[in-house]
Structure 1
Amino acid sequence: MSRNSSLQKRLGIGLTLGATVLWLLGVAASGLVAQHEMNEVFDSALEETAQRILPLAVTDILNRESNTGNRTAPALKEHDEYLTYVVRDRQGNLLLQSHDADPGIFAALPREGFTNTSTHRIYGASAVSDTLYIEVAEPLAHRREAALEAGIALLVPLFVLIPVSLFGIWWVVRLSLRPVIEFQHSIEARGASDLSPVNKDRLPEEFEPTAVAVNRLLERLNRALDAERSFTANSAHELRTPLATALAKVQRLKTQLEDQHLKKNVVEVEQALRGLSTLSGKLLELAKAEGGGALSQQPHDLVPILAMISRDFEPLAPGRIRLTVPDHKVNSLLDPDAFAILARNLIENAMKHGSVQQPVDVIMTDDGRMRVCNGGDIVPPDQLAVLRNRFSRHDTRAAGSGLGLAIADAIASGAGMTLHLRSPATGRADGFEVELNVTDAGRNPGPCT
């Protein structure tokens, strides 16, 4: 699994976090502005209260029979008093106070203007030639409570806005990236042989150069593969007719010669021509195997095909092939012609390089696993790793072109299957085994070859 996260996920999370941070910064800034404005309102209320009460307090004090002594202003009914006040003379003598006022929160001598204590905000004003002073106090806790409530009122909508923003951002990002996702899926869903240009009509401008570069690469790859396959196929096909003609003439010449020395030389020429004819046939099969036609549109039962191929080898080595197939169908998307080439090469490889004293087991299981096993010497691991390469052969005296396993591996890879080579064979102390699962065809198309 890839560790790289999707662009859609990155954009969704990044934009949501960014929007959330901006919301929080906006709330913080709004809270600071609101707190500043509320402080101005509260200060204005303190000043207005002092200016309204002071004339009434002065009238009350001047109309007293005795100007000395403190008096508490009565309350009409019990209530919480956020603003408290005291009226004092220049020496700090208390003359009048509100019913909840605490003289201890005020300074010893009255002062005009705004002052702060650890617990209160105080505003002072004077009258009667600065002989009488009123001081109005407001608890700072009241202001902090108001600021906290305002901040909470600004934060609460975020609990709704953040999920809505997350959904909205996800939806917009998904809608915007839909052409890119379709482009991704169109490439992932391509078969191994599909080198047609990708569709770039609806792609965003930023991704269009990527699609153009991919199409150019596919075009160059298609031309290169076509040239290689055409050369291999044409070479093998064009060699068939002159080789067959030459072989026929050599065989005719062999029957006309009486000199045994010359006849031996002709036989050697005949064998060389047969080998060259076989090589041209193998090259043609390799070109077909690499041509990308390993898959068919509909599944086919491969059991009858495997049985027919096995019977074709019976006249060459009677009783040597032991065929084991299930009674029911084994359907696969592997092309029947491609499977016939694959099975023929595997069986031919086992018969040619295996011990002639031991049988060749051709097995097809119920779940689609096909195994071809033969006896013989164990193939060392270093040679086993390169046997599927072209013209690679194990140290053997048997004649061959070294293309049989390469052809089988090309067909298996093109169909999305894996060709397993084992030596010794499973359950044996010697021999060689090839295994693949034909039901895997079409599930994971391999790279273009």
Structure 2
Amino acid sequence: MNSIRIRLFAILLAATGIVWLSAFIWVQQSTRAKVERVLDARLAEAGQMVSSLISDQRIDVARAPATVTEIPTDGEFSPVGYSHKLSCQIWSLDGILVGSSKSAPTAQLTSDDTGFSINVIDGERWRVYSVVNETLGLRIMVGDSYTVRDRLVRDVTKGLVLPALLMFPILAGLILFSVRRGLVPLEQMAAALSRRPADNLSPMAVASLPREIKPMGVALNGLFSRVDAMRDREKSFTSFAAHELKTPLAGIKTQAQVAAIAPDSETRGQALHRIQLGVERADRMVKQLLALASLDTGDGTSDGTCNVISVVKAVVSDLTRVATDNHVSVQMDDRTDGKTQANAVLLTVAVRNVLENAIIASPPGATVEIVVSRDGEHCLVAVLDRGPGISGPDRARITDRFYRGNGAKEGGSGLGLSIVATALQRLGGTVDFDSRADGGEIVTLVFPQG
């Protein structure tokens, strides 16, 4: 059942039906109890009256049972014909039948001396009241059949229930109408969203929404905000990437033209060398752009965990040629006993970019140190270089995309540290920057162990 309207209608209708059924059972039981009390009082009244008439000799004993059918009914329950259903028997204390009404059975109504009793005669249950007239030596028994009593209860209950059953379809229609009217705000919200252009990510008005669907409006506004931010980030990413790739490509084109018209081999060699540098720069930038796009979309970040030391060693091995070309050595210090784990893809991307930046920033002959350690439940990967470091004004924006700080070497794209920050965010960690006392920068990756 995927329709909220049908679900609400079914729930409300079922709840109403249960309430009405409970009310019907209560009315039936209550009516039966009240009818029993009234009819028992009538039996006792009839028995006492017959005994009194016989004692006062106002009526013959043989005719006395017939007077029961003439007793007027002044109680709450006086159905037509019920007064004729009372039965009366008069027995002597010696067990001789003295008189009996026409409606009475042939067998004795009860064997009890006095009071109320229930007896089964010829398979039919009877409610009987008996009273003993000691003066005349008679026992007067007045009773009525439970069949009559049950019919009376059914008649009274039916009179109460039938109107309610006739009203039930009307109530069901009112419930359905109310449910439809109650869901109008939700339909209006859906209609407003369907009319909204795809490029309209402005927040929708939620102040006028009902309290029940206002959280949905707030959640949609949050989604709009996140989608708008992602769209802006993609726009800026595309524009900056196009701008940054334009420079090395233009340089490559220019140097290719120079090489083509070079008058001598020396000029041609220099142009080819610059082409090689431009290609390397473009290659590095494209790799960084792909890595950043992969992190933004979450591709590949669900891979299993791997030993942190193994990841760092693999990255160092991959960057050996870069370190050699820059005449920089890399030294690694493991202080974790090899027991730390982390997401292999994210950690590789982060460590590679930090280490590559450190190698490029360091002067020839310098040593870049990598220290892997543990601090409680967190793992720390610190990369120490001997480069110019990050100036104070640049620290606040150093992880922004395409931002290159003052004094950055030519050829950088401003993406490396933003990639690191994104990867660490997905790892649930942070990247910290600190200056070295004797010159250089310390970049520390802090993340929880996997």
TM-score, normalised relative to structure 1: 0.50
TM-score, normalised relative to structure 2: 0.50
Relative contact order, higher structure (CA 8 A, sep 6+): 1
